[in-house]
Amino acid sequence: MNRLHALFFSALRRVTLLCVIPLTVSVALSEPLKVAYSDWPGWVVFDIAIKKDWFKQEGLDVQFLWYDYAPSMDAFSTGKVDAVGMTNGDALVTGSGGKPSVAIIITDFSSGNDMIVAKPGIESVKDLKGKKIGVEVGLVDHLLLLNALESNGMKETDVTLVNTPTNETPQVLGAGAVDVICAWQPNSGQAMKTVQGSKPIYTSAQAPGLIYDLIYVSRENLEKRRGDWAKFVKVWYRIIDYMQDPANLDEALKILAARDNVKPEEYEPFLKGTHLLTLQEALQRWKKADGLSSIYGSTKVVDDFNVKYGVYKQHVDFQGYLDPSLTEEYSRSVGAKAASK
């Protein structure tokens, strides 16, 4: 009987041990923050912090995963990553698809890098009537296209859409399968190099504030690891400070161009088309207001747009997608430091 007892308890001990070990291990080795990013110039700048080890210096373990844009959002909605760079419109689309998120950083707004590029012979948006347009349906540049059509008194039915992954638009335009493409840099630039003489007939510079780019975090993860995301925000503004200094331009271009496989001189114009927001500018954009100069106003416009064009059926509670608190906290901490100096 005694032996049986001993056997039972030793077995019990082993079982509990087996249960406890993985538990303790998972606590001890905290997972890195996983961030998916893609070729939009406003997010490629993360490579600067990666190359310079700024996240490690902040004591933060971040794993960046490079994707094409649409797959990056897939990775986010299937829970493979904790955060992703998206436009404010696409975040709503992803959210209505079952994975709501919350933005902690406005990285930039598009000021020309999103383009509608047309073959030679098509001079304006009005000429698009009856043309074949290569665009990734339901994503940001579809929105740009609809906006362009609407502001010229046209409808989506006036054109034929050809659903094309954005990074394949240069090949598709080059092959002559479509007359026009909608894409962002570096893809739009590549398209214009592939089809010589093609040019942008409408860009996001004509609708500044329609497309904001942000870092969206999964809501559970933000709740669980708020402290880590605060450090993440801190590193982001270190990148912004670095980018503001013209002395760093050549070094920055080298890093950014390498990520996109272009030459630094080719990359330089992209910086104009993506307006990176300084901390002060970002705080302005975070203020609740109507119109495109506020992220709230812009997101409302996009939400209306998406419902109107049937991208999704029901209005989204977009306020829940926006959380300026981490940026504001960072701003206060910087202000406090500046005051104490």
Distance CA 10, CA 102 (A): 48
Stretch that binds another protein, among 102-110, 207-215, 250-258, 314-322 (CB under 8 A): 250-258
- Residue 78 Cα distances to 71, 86, 181, 275, angstroms: 10, 15, 29, 30
Smaller CB separation from another protein, 81 or 140: 81
246 binds another protein (CB under 8 A): yes
196 binds another protein (CB under 8 A): yes
Binding mask 152-171 for another protein (x = CB under 8 A): ---------------x--xx
Is there a cis peptide before residue 22, judged by omega within 30 degrees of 0? no
190 binds another protein (CB under 8 A): yes
Burial of 66 from C-beta contacts in 10 A (0-12 / 13-18 / 19+): middle
State the nearest-atom distance from the C-beta of 44 to another protein, in Å: 13
Binding mask 46-85 for another protein (x = CB under 8 A): -------------------xxx-------x--x-x-----
Among 236, 270, 318, 330, binds another protein (CB under 8 A): 270
Among 156, 266, 281, 328, binds another protein (CB under 8 A): 266
Distance CA 145, CA 118 (A): 12
- Residue 250 Cα distances to 47, 57, 265, angstroms: 14, 23, 9
Stretch that binds another protein, among 55-63, 149-157, 220-228, 244-252 (CB under 8 A): 244-252
250 binds another protein (CB under 8 A): yes
121 binds another protein (CB under 8 A): no
State the nearest-atom distance from the C-beta of 192 to another protein, in Å: 4
Q: Buried b / exposed e across 80-93, counting CB within 10 Å, b at 16+?
A: ebbbbbbbbbbbbb
Q: Which residues contact 108 (CB under 8 A, 6 or more apart)?
A: 41, 42, 212, 213, 274, 275, 276, 277
CA angle 252, 255, 259 (to 5 degrees): 135
Distance CA 306, CA 195 (A): 31
273 binds another protein (CB under 8 A): yes
Stretch that binds another protein, among 237-245, 265-273, 299-307, 326-334 (CB under 8 A): 265-273
185 binds another protein (CB under 8 A): yes
Binding mask 202-241 for another protein (x = CB under 8 A): ----------------------------------------
Both tokens of residue 245?
A: 């200094």
Place of tokens 């430091």: 337
Distance CA 38, CA 18 (A): 40
Distance CA 264, CA 256 (A): 8
Task: Return residues touching another protein (CB under 8 A).
Answer: 65-67, 75, 78, 80, 112, 167, 170-171, 185, 189-190, 192-194, 196-197, 199-200, 246, 249-250, 254, 258-259, 261-266, 268-270, 272-273
